[in-house]
């Protein structure tokens, strides 16, 4: 059995890290949206309870549903973000180990000839 070239493995790991970074960024966006939903739901519930705009029971139920949905989404995406960050850390460690195994050589520039 032949072992795959370390540079190919490093390239594959870098592709994986890039894909995981995309997932992490998406999770961060959903976390922000979840926080906005929780805040909006709380504000709507407060307005409904105080009776400022005459919203009824439907608005109160909607605001509670918005807050609960935001809480569920927030928890799910925080969990996924933590798992993704752990996976990125593991992939970066594997990449560093592969780079450490490569026999790197210093390449020097050849002296320039003057005409």
Token pair listed for 2:
């032949």
pLDDT cut 90: percent of the chain above it: 64
Contacts of 59 (CB under 8 A, 6+ apart): 44, 48
- For the segment 85-100, the average pLDDT, to the nearest whole number, is 94
At 19, is the pLDDT very low, low, confident or very high (cuts 50, 70, 90)?
very high
DSSP the chain: -PPPPHHHHHHHHHHHHHHHHHHHHHHHHHHHHHHHHHHHHHHHHHHHHHTSS---HHHHHHHHHHHHHHHHHHHHHHHHHHHHHHHHHHHHHHHHHHHHHS------PPPPPP-
- Please classify residue 63 by burial: count the beta carbons closer than 10 Å to its beta carbon, then call 0-12 exposed, 13-18 middle and 19+ buried: buried
Which range in 5-19, 46-60, 79-93, 100-114 is most confidently predicted, on average pLDDT?
79-93
pLDDT, tens digit (0-9, with 9 covering 90-100), for 24-59: 999 999 999 999 999 999 999 999 988 887 778 888
């Amino acid at each position: 059995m032949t072992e795959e070239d370390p540079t190919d493995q490093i390239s594959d790991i870098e592709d994986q890290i890039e894909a995981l970074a995309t997932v992490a960024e998406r999770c961060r966006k959903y976390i922000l949206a979840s926080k906005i939903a929780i805040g909006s739901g709380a504000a709507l519930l407060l307005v409904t309870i105080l009776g400022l705009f005459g919203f009824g029971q439907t608005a109160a139920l909607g605001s509670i549903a918005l807050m609960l949905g935001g809480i569920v989404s927030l928890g799910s995406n925080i969990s996924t973000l933590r798992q993704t960050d752990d996976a990125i850390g593991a992939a970066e460690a594997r990449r560093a180990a592969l780079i450490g195994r490569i026999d790197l050589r210093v390449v020097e520039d050849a002296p320039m000839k003057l005409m």
